[in-house]
């Protein structure tokens, strides 16, 4: 995977040499970029290829990373692209658009929603029932709701899905049990308080949600995503999260 290749690519100053191709048209450039990114590994899934604001480069979202690749497929850059005139992080703009579109595809009811009667904002939180700050976040759930913030939890077991021996990780198994419970909200709350549900198996979205989080650039929990797809951070106390939502002009 690209994530495993990344340290070597950065440390070694690795370039996409040998991948150059004549890019006389947009279609040819896209093909060159796709070929170059695919060369990073057999399992690299490309989600987005689009012209970048940077002349001569394409913006690529692949395997949970945002890259800038030259139109001839020869060079790759990793990092945030800043518009100095507008003073905007255009890389985060691209991520936000992608995250919002992908989250909108989730079937209704797939997450675990804690919401007030008339929410002003809804945030998506990739969470792990055993992570310390996820537990702190959920301990304040009533306060978030009182401030008009609905929280839709998606599963992201930080241990991953399976161990190196191919067995389910303990946290993955716990989160499957939560999503299989008759009362998911009660089971989730209990799990964050150190009272996991009995092991259970059912048709559940935990693995799919974990993989979605990886594609959206999640690398830790809690990962709080605003209504417009922007990553707002990890644990934010209720007033701080409300202020961040107000300042970003999202919803409400």
Active-site annotation, residues: 128, 131, 134, 158
Q: What is the C-alpha separation between 147 and 126, in angstroms, rounded?
A: 20
Residues 137, 145: contact at Cβ < 8 Å? no
**Which residues make Cβ contacts (< 8 Å) with residue 166, sequence separation at least 6?**
none
Which DSSP category does 90 fall into?
H
Residues 76, 16: contact at Cβ < 8 Å? yes
Q: How many CB atoms lie within 10 A of CB 211?
A: 14
Residues 134, 127: contact at Cβ < 8 Å? yes
């Amino acid at each position: 995977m690209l994530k495993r290749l990344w340290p070597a690519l950065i440390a070694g100053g690795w370039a996409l040499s040998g991948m150059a191709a004549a890019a006389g048209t947009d279609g040819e450039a896209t093909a060159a970029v796709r070929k170059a990114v695919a060369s990073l590994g057999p399992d690299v899934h490309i989600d987005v290829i689009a012209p970048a604001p940077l002349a001569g480069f394409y913006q690529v979202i692949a395997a949970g990373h945002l890259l800038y690749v030259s139109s001839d497929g020869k060079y790759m850059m990793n990092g945030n692209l800043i518009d100095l005139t507008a003073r905007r992080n255009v890389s985060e703009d691209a991520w936000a658009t992608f995250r919002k579109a992908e989250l909108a595809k989730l079937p209704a009811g797939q997450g675990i929603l804690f919401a007030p009667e008339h929410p002003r904002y809804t945030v998506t939180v990739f969470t792990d029932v055993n992570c310390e700050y996820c537990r702190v976040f959920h301990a304040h759930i009533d306060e978030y709701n009182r401030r008009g913030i609905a929280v839709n939890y998606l599963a992201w077991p930080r241990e991953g899905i399976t161990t190196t021996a191919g067995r389910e990780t303990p946290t993955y198994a716990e989160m499957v049990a939560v999503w299989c419970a008759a009362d998911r909200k009660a089971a989730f709350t209990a799990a964050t308080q150190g009272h996991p549900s009995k092991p259970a198996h059912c048709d559940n979205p935990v693995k799919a949600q974990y993989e979605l989080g990886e594609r959206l650039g999640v690398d830790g929990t809690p990962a709080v995503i605003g209504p417009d797809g922007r990553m707002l951070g990890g644990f934010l106390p209720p007033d701080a999260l409300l202020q961040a939502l107000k300042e970003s002009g999202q919803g409400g």
